[in-house]
Chains A and B, each alone.
Chain A
């Protein structure tokens, strides 16, 4: 199995073998984090531009560290304090950056499809680091790597994704990835936060937290994306947290003792996760972050590591 794509835009585009190759590559690079000298020369002389139009701590830092550990030159561009604030359009800015011959552009934008537009317009490889409520493939890959390391396999696992499904690109990317790898997915949340097309994605839907977390292997809690909510989709934060917040009591009463608790971050403590659960023994939240660097190294290596790749995708 060889990697042939030029871009990483969406989990929906990938097949199971490609997802497995990405995860395997990431897993084999994890060891670099434990070295005294955290640097390998694989991407020496390559230039990676982080083009971030939305705020991000984890993802941008993680791509930056990943690129640097692989010896690439990493340049960060954020929309604030740039020519965007002087009125330059997204595509004009991107074309200007492309004129400086980067090998990979990592893009985050609040509009779905932003990464796909760049893939069409720019000559370099594009990595989607989150486009609106559409997809966030590297987050799904690091979640999958975390699950495989903890559970040893994917086959037949049952995952509950809980919270603001409608606005979550993390949920969407994970659903595509998990379904392709043979896992069962249940999404759960208040009806206003469950998208109408949920069933078309091949997932089950639950409207009570207690039903969703029963007998599952993994619980993935999502953040309420208040920045993407236009109208009052929930009555109040307090009510949301009462019905949908995961606490030790609810875990003990309904979930399996070996369940994994995941969260893509940033965590709103006391809203979707009680602090005892976020810091508790089932929680793998910081493990997810560590895996993020390995996954991004794997993605950058496969996209930029060889010229042979990328002519047909």
Chain B
């Protein structure tokens, strides 16, 4: 803990506030189109920003379609495959106050990278019941997959280098709606 992670410097803006909003609007429309409406669709967001994005998508669908879809929260700490490689992680709890059995679950996360988080999320979801279908909505797909996982809805495809970090900032947590690429400061 003494040295800490290397300092990150903002390299480029990927989405500004209105671009982020337009991407979510488009995804909301795509979800309705792909599923022939909002019937039996539920949202499950991955902590922390996936939940916020899921709530935004649910609001947009309510505005377009008039249907209020339930939004659940998934914590995948207990399903990680790298528990042995990290310090003791903080478990923050899963809260899905509705049955996902027979439903179409749209899993929402901010950034898709190696795919390991989504692998863990799929295991966690299936332990909670048997959904009819699971779809994946992602704000930024930055590549570098290590597992055969692909998203159904993408806000922005963004080729990155492994050294870079994609930071999704949201009003509820960070005071602004913006996506930026950060790179380690040159030593």
Contacts and interface: CB of A to CB of B under 8 A. Distances in A.
Contact of B88 (A3, A35, A41): A3
B75 A28 contact: yes
Interface string B62-104: 0000000000000101110001111111111111000000000
Nearest to A306: B88
6 contacts: A25-B91, A27-B93, A28-B91, A31-B94, A37-B128, A40-B79
Contacts of B90: 1-2, 21, 24-25
B93 A31 contact: yes
Interface of A: 1-4, 21, 24-25, 27-29, 31, 35-37, 39-42, 70, 298, 301-302, 305-309
> Nearest 5 CB-CB pairs, A to B?
A28-B93, A3-B88, A308-B87, A42-B78, A40-B78
Contacts of A35: 127-128
A302 B128 contact: no
Contacts, number: 65
B129 interface: yes
Contacts of B92: 28
Contact of A307 (B77, B78, B84, B123): B84
Of the four ranges (under 10, 10 to 19, 20 to 34, 35 or more), the interface on chain B belongs to: 20 to 34
Interface of A is mostly: loop
A1 B92 CA distance: 13
Nearest to A29: B91
Contacts of B87: 2-4, 306, 308-309
A29 B79 CA distance: 13
B95 A31 contact: yes
B88 A308 contact: yes
Interface of B is mostly: loop
Interface string B114-126: 0000000001100
A112 B155 CA distance: 60
B84 A41 contact: no
Given A36-B129, A306-B86, 8 more contacts: A2-B90, A25-B90, A29-B91, A37-B127, A40-B79, A40-B124, A41-B123, A42-B77
A29 B124 CA distance: 13
**Most chain A beta-carbon neighbours within 10 Å: one of B84, B93, B128:** B93
Nearest to A2: B87
Nearest to B79: A41
Nearest to A26: B91
A306 B78 CA distance: 11
A266 B62 CA distance: 53
Contacts of B85: 307-308
A285 B69 CA distance: 38
A2 B88 contact: yes
Interface in B34-84: 75, 77-79, 83-84
**Most chain A beta-carbon neighbours within 10 Å: one of B84, B85, B88:** B88
B7 to A, nearest CB: 21
Nearest to A21: B90
Contacts of A39: 127
A79 to B, nearest CB: 32
Nearest to A45: B84
A209 to B, nearest CB: 39
Contacts of A41: 78-79, 123
Contacts of B95: 31
B77 to A, nearest CB: 8
Given A31-B94, A42-B78, A305 B83 contact: yes
**Most chain B beta-carbon neighbours within 10 Å: one of A1, A21, A301:** A301
A20 B93 CA distance: 15
Contact of A309 (B88, B91, B129): B88
A36 B128 CA distance: 7
Contacts of A298: 91
Interface in B123-181: 123-124, 127-129
